[in-house]
Chain A
Amino acid sequence: RKEVEQDPGPFNVPEGATVAFNCTYSNSASQSFFWYRQDCRKEPKLLMSVYSSGNEDGRFTAQLNRASQYISLLIRDSKLSDSATYLCAVRPMLNAGGTSYGKLTFGQGTILTVHP
């Protein structure tokens, strides 16, 4: 089983649609969670961190389910400019002193295409 798994898609949705991605992780010690966005041939850019209580940033909502070991990303009112690959990333905390040394492991990414 891969450490981090995502449905690769592609997801093709019309403008204005709501779309959700899930990402499952196998390491129960994972403590830090992120969603990145990657445009074609560009570097991944941080979209948002995922906090235990869930968090929202405009049209984007991220949630964490520790019991089932997955994180999710919800995009409301999709825009054409949301078309990209969305990567989830997880990292364990190996040091209880407040620093985080563990490796950041990425999922393969989910391709989203928003069409007019």
Chain B
Amino acid sequence: EAQVTQNPRYLITVTGKKLTVTCSQNMNHEYMSWYRQDPGLGLRQIYYSMNVEVTDKGDVPEGYKVSRKEKRNFPLILESPSPNQTSLYFCASRGLNGNNQPQHFGDGTRLSIL
């Protein structure tokens, strides 16, 4: 089954404790992306990656890091989480052939930073 898998689904942690949210896709997609979703602000892109070892900032990259060492994986790293990073996070992927390739989303990760 084609899917995007995120882990963990839920996490409550404390300020300053480094955490990583993993994202894996089995569709051989080149493009992967991280979003956060907050009430009233919609989905905002944090980082994206066009392919292995190619990453770039989205609209709200501050406080986040990513890496793309393998095509299937695109982890999101919060080196020193702060309460304003409490949010619902989505990883997404898509192929790059053709004009109308939609994005496929993971189930989401709800982070609470205390």
Interface residues of A (CB under 8 A from B): 31-32, 34, 41-46, 49, 51, 87, 89, 93, 98-101, 103-109
Bound CA span A51–B100, Å: 9
What are 14 inter-chain pairs, A to B, with CB distance below 8 A?
A31-B99, A32-B99, A32-B100, A44-B90, A49-B102, A51-B100, A87-B43, A89-B103, A99-B97, A101-B50, A101-B96, A103-B48, A103-B58, A108-B41
Bound CA span A105–B59, Å: 10
Min CB distance, A11 to chain B, in Å?
17
Question: Would B45 and A49 count as touching, CB distance under 8 A?
Answer: no
* Chain A interface, DSSP helix/strand/loop, else mixed: loop
Question: Would B99 and A108 count as touching, CB distance under 8 A?
Answer: no
Q: How many A-B residue pairs have CB under 8 A?
A: 57
Task: Chain B residues near A106: list those with CB within 8 A.
Answer: 42-43
Q: Which 9 A-B pairs have the closest CB atoms?
A: A108-B42, A43-B105, A106-B43, A46-B102, A99-B96, A49-B100, A100-B99, A43-B108, A44-B105
Q: Nearest residue in A to B39 (C-beta to C-beta)?
A: A108
